Chains A and B, each alone.
Chain A
Amino acid sequence: MSFKVVHYINQFFANIGGEEMAHVAPELRDGLVGPGLALNNAWKGEAEIVKTIVCGDSYFAEHEKEAKEQILAWVKEINPDFFIAGPAFNAGRYGYACANVAIAVQEMGIPVLTGMYQENPGADYKNQVLIVATKDSAAGMRQAAPTMAKLALKIMKGEKLGASCEDGYMPNGIRVNFFEKERGAKRAVDMLIKKLADKPFVTEYPMPSFDRVEPGKAIKDMSKATIALCTSGGIVPKGNPDHIESSSASHYGEYSIEGVMDLTEEGWETAHGGYDPIYANQDADRVLPVDVMRDLEKEGVIGKLHNLFYTTVGNGTAVASAKAFAAEYAQKLVAAGVDGVIMTST
């Protein structure tokens, strides 16, 4: 039994016509049409295009809602194992249609794949849907079809996705490990030699643009403010009752310091694995300064110290995890009427 595939193409690749026929409404045909042949051949019977959906690019652009509804209705009825759109190369509206139709089908729980040139506007969706990088014109079909067919079959078979450069898809924000042919030092020297000669080179990790957090508004009267302590330095009650990991933490802890004037060696320690814990374990106030905050409270510099603190281990912990922890406990802090937070790191 082979996998059932539905293929989406535009009026041009269905041989209806060029721009002058771009207004044609969606149409469902049996079997494969045009570029579907190359995909089908590559699958050698393991998968097969059972239906082809053809839609004019202008029609899709001007009637996106209706076009999608019609296409999704057909896909639902056919219930294929896989949906493939394009490749669209550098045709802008076609690329847009491929990406959007694919995303809609993907939302139905059917795995999808499309392909296009990296500068196609549809490629903006590369983090939402798997897109194979192709050349900028239909002359690139010879390379694109086998790459798309191979990756599609891999997904149909439930195999694990390789790195983007191995499987030919556009980097989608998910880093995947793989083994290169050369070791890193040689790759670095080769890259530098190209850079020195002003030849093109491809970085293995494009630098991200960083989130910048706007500072909060100043607290006007600190003597009435409730201040909380939070830390990524891993301070926990002795014995680490919630088993916060020493690196790559999967959760945070919430602990009471009600009535605690000073973090003692007997009661507190750090779970952090990124620094020698000796000084933090001797006196956890060095990381989470409860003692100094109590002094400030007594002196009336701050209104009061919040009776709970939130803690995790920053060591090797993914930014996404850290963000999720804080998003959750920030709500608790707000609900508790906390005015300001001192966040300590290590």
Chain B
Amino acid sequence: MKTLELGYIHINDIIIGSESKVENGVLYVDEAAVKALVLEDEFLKDVHFDVAKPGESTRITPVKDVIEPRVKVEGPGGVFPGMVNKVEAVGEGKTNVLKGMAVVTAGKIVGFQEGVIDMSGPGADYTPFSKTINFVMVCEPADSLLATDPEATLPIDNEKKPEYERAVRMAGLKVAAYLGELAKNVTPDETEVFSTPNLKEGMELYPDLPRVVYVAMLQTQGLLHDTYVYGVDAKRTLSTMMWPTEIMDGAIVSGNCVSACDKNPTYIHENNPVVHELFKQHGKTINFVGVIITNENVYLADKQRSSDWAAKLCELLGVDGAIVTQEGFGNPDTDLIMNTKKIELKGVKTAIVTDEYAGQDGKSQSLADADPLADAVVTGGNANQVIILPKMDKVIGMLDYVDVIAGGHAGSLREDGTIEAEIQVITSATNEMGFNKLSAR
């Protein structure tokens, strides 16, 4: 039996000052200390911190990743293993969580695909991160990363983008781990326990319940579309298995710059909604066996191999059912359909979670691939839906890139500060792990 207890410490406010601590639900952050931590990286020149609260007239953009601070209190390893802490296996013992807040990394854009978080107004309904108090880090790239071509559309030199992506990704994780560490000795406001029996124990405990596995597809198209598992670039991995609680300790982190609406930020990996919903049913209606992770590479041979392996693991485990979730759209739709079809053909019933690109008028085919065996689909909504985001009093980051991010168009940013764009630009709006209530018919 693998058991992890999460201790939730509710954060009601974040105060940036000269001391770091968590006290009475308030997170105090020593600005100089976190700044020093970020600037350890030679590729970051400067960083500015700010706090955005729910209900404020504040827009954060371009947003890269969102991370929930956590800390291991008991048990082996540390959070974000292989990235911030040593690579030791996690997922058991006790972990404290700073609940109700998030670390948001922002700054000059990496690709075309960084997002928008509005803390109020119509856009706030679409992003889960309008409900968290956000500690925002606006990162400044080092001069050595900047494009020298005066006509370049984007500020970072093309060849230096991976370096910059890595720097901002690591800065976010380090700061989240630092803030989490402040809660190591704080008594949680509430706790929740997650236990997974091993295969043998599970069969004995729940002989009559259908056995269900979760197949999590990780974005690994490469070229700034990457996910890391215990520090390994997941595109160089074969489909494999994990305890669900490993994910809660940050074993999977985002290094990904796909469209903001359907990339899985680290925060959503840590709080993987499918894992949580399966735990709620575990021992009652189903026996939650564990998690299969599989990648979404661009080459056909990789797609075939990875989907074969995901289906093969389902077969090997002898499960009755599988939930399959996706990240990204278009090219990964083929992985989603391959996985679903192959798993169904093994006699395992599937339900899948995706989102749609049905056009601004909603009239087009929603996915790039389809198969009749994918007959149980949950959708996170049509990412092409156009939304008008009113001007906000405060902008954290910069509006310079709104026209060129995925989902924006020339003229998206109007002179009065209003943005007209597809909900594609909004961080996690159509999340494909089923984090939100948005859907479509």
Let me know if B321 and A192 touch, CB within 8 A.
yes
Docked CA distance A320–B366 (Å) = 11
Let me know if A205 and B354 touch, CB within 8 A.
yes
Let me know if B434 and A203 touch, CB within 8 A.
no
Chain B 197-238 interface mask (CB, 8 Å, partner A; 1/0): 000000000000010100000000111110000000000000
Chain A 207-228 interface mask (CB, 8 Å, partner B; 1/0): 1111000000000000000000
Let me know if A184 and B440 touch, CB within 8 A.
no
The answer to whether B85 has its CB under 8 Å from any CB of chain A is no
Chain A 137-158 interface mask (CB, 8 Å, partner B; 1/0): 0000000000000000000000
Let me know if B424 and A247 touch, CB within 8 A.
yes
Contacts of B364 in A (CB 8 A): 318-321
Let me know if A273 and B435 touch, CB within 8 A.
no
Contacts of B161 in A (CB 8 A): 276, 278
Given A185-B273, A186-B277, are A195 and B437 neighbors across the interface (CB < 8 Å)? no
The answer to whether A159 has its CB under 8 Å from any CB of chain B is no
Let me know if B379 and A183 touch, CB within 8 A.
no
B-contacting residues, A281-307, CB 8 Å = 281-282
Stretch at the interface among B180-188, B306-314, B399-407: B399-407
Contacts of B366 in A (CB 8 A): 175, 205, 208
The answer to whether A29 has its CB under 8 Å from any CB of chain B is no
Docked CA distance A240–B406 (Å) = 15
Stretch at the interface among A49-57, A83-91, A163-171: A163-171
B side interface size, CB within 8 A: 89
Let me know if A195 and B151 touch, CB within 8 A.
no
Let me know if A179 and B434 touch, CB within 8 A.
no
The answer to whether B77 has its CB under 8 Å from any CB of chain A is no
The answer to whether B146 has its CB under 8 Å from any CB of chain A is no
The answer to whether B376 has its CB under 8 Å from any CB of chain A is yes
Q: What is the CB-to-nearest-CB distance from B256 to chain A, in angstroms, rounded to a whole number?
A: 12
Let me know if B277 and A318 touch, CB within 8 A.
no
Q: What is the CB-to-nearest-CB distance from B145 to chain A, in angstroms, rounded to a whole number?
A: 13
The answer to whether A264 has its CB under 8 Å from any CB of chain B is no
Given A177-B385, A247-B406, A282-B158, are A207 and B371 neighbors across the interface (CB < 8 Å)? yes
Let me know if B440 and A175 touch, CB within 8 A.
yes
Given A183-B434, A248-B360, are A193 and B285 neighbors across the interface (CB < 8 Å)? yes
Of the residues A185, A193, A274, contact of B353 by C-beta under 8 Å:
A185
A-contacting residues, B37-89, CB 8 Å = none
Q: What is the CB-to-nearest-CB distance from B418 to chain A, in angstroms, rounded to a whole number?
A: 18
The answer to whether B112 has its CB under 8 Å from any CB of chain A is yes
Contacts of A204 in B (CB 8 A): 377-379, 439-441
Contacts of B384 in A (CB 8 A): 248, 316, 318
The answer to whether A327 has its CB under 8 Å from any CB of chain B is no
Contacts of B374 in A (CB 8 A): 207
Contacts of A250 in B (CB 8 A): 409
Let me know if B274 and A189 touch, CB within 8 A.
yes
B-contacting residues, A307-334, CB 8 Å = 314-321
Contacts of A171 in B (CB 8 A): 441
The answer to whether B20 has its CB under 8 Å from any CB of chain A is no
Of the residues B273, B360, B405, contact of A183 by C-beta under 8 Å:
B273
Q: What is the CB-to-nearest-CB distance from A308 to chain B, in angstroms, rounded to a whole number?
A: 23
The answer to whether A118 has its CB under 8 Å from any CB of chain B is no
Let me know if B281 and A193 touch, CB within 8 A.
yes
Let me know if A207 and B375 touch, CB within 8 A.
yes
Let me know if B406 and A315 touch, CB within 8 A.
yes
Docked CA distance A274–B354 (Å) = 18
Docked CA distance A182–B424 (Å) = 21
* Chain B residue at minimum C-beta to C-beta distance from A239: B151
Of the residues A183, A189, A281, contact of B435 by C-beta under 8 Å:
A183
Stretch at the interface among B135-143, B239-247, B344-352: B344-352
* Chain A residue at minimum C-beta to C-beta distance from B378: A188
Let me know if B406 and A246 touch, CB within 8 A.
yes
Let me know if A191 and B376 touch, CB within 8 A.
yes
Let me know if B323 and A188 touch, CB within 8 A.
yes
Let me know if B281 and A173 touch, CB within 8 A.
no
Most buried by A among B351, B404, B405: B351
Of the residues B212, B405, B433, contact of A246 by C-beta under 8 Å:
B405
Contacts of A207 in B (CB 8 A): 370-372, 374-375, 377
Contacts of A281 in B (CB 8 A): 158
Let me know if A176 and B349 touch, CB within 8 A.
no
Docked CA distance A179–B381 (Å) = 9
Let me know if B362 and A189 touch, CB within 8 A.
no
* Chain A residue at minimum C-beta to C-beta distance from B371: A207
The answer to whether B252 has its CB under 8 Å from any CB of chain A is no
Let me know if B379 and A274 touch, CB within 8 A.
no
Chain B 331-363 interface mask (CB, 8 Å, partner A; 1/0): 100000000000000000111111011111111
Let me know if A196 and B321 touch, CB within 8 A.
yes
Contacts of A203 in B (CB 8 A): 375-377
The answer to whether B91 has its CB under 8 Å from any CB of chain A is no
Docked CA distance A203–B434 (Å) = 14
Let me know if A184 and B437 touch, CB within 8 A.
yes
B-contacting residues, A245-279, CB 8 Å = 245-248, 250, 273-279
Residues of B within 8 A of A (CB): 111-113, 125, 151, 153, 158-159, 161-162, 210, 212, 221-225, 258-259, 273-274, 276-278, 280-281, 285-286, 320-323, 325, 329-331, 349-354, 356-367, 370-372, 374-385, 404-410, 422-424, 431, 433-441
List 13 additional A-B contacts (Cβ < 8 Å) besides A178-B441, A186-B277, A205-B377: A174-B362, A175-B382, A177-B385, A191-B376, A196-B349, A201-B376, A203-B376, A205-B367, A205-B379, A243-B409, A246-B404, A315-B406, A316-B259
- Per CB-CB distance, the 4 closest pairs between chain A and chain B, nearest first, are A184-B434, A318-B359, A276-B223, A273-B112
25 contacts between A and B (CB under 8 A): A164-B441, A175-B356, A175-B362, A178-B438, A180-B439, A183-B434, A184-B273, A184-B380, A184-B434, A188-B325, A189-B277, A191-B351, A192-B323, A195-B321, A196-B286, A207-B375, A209-B370, A247-B259, A247-B407, A247-B424, A248-B422, A279-B223, A316-B407, A319-B365, A320-B361
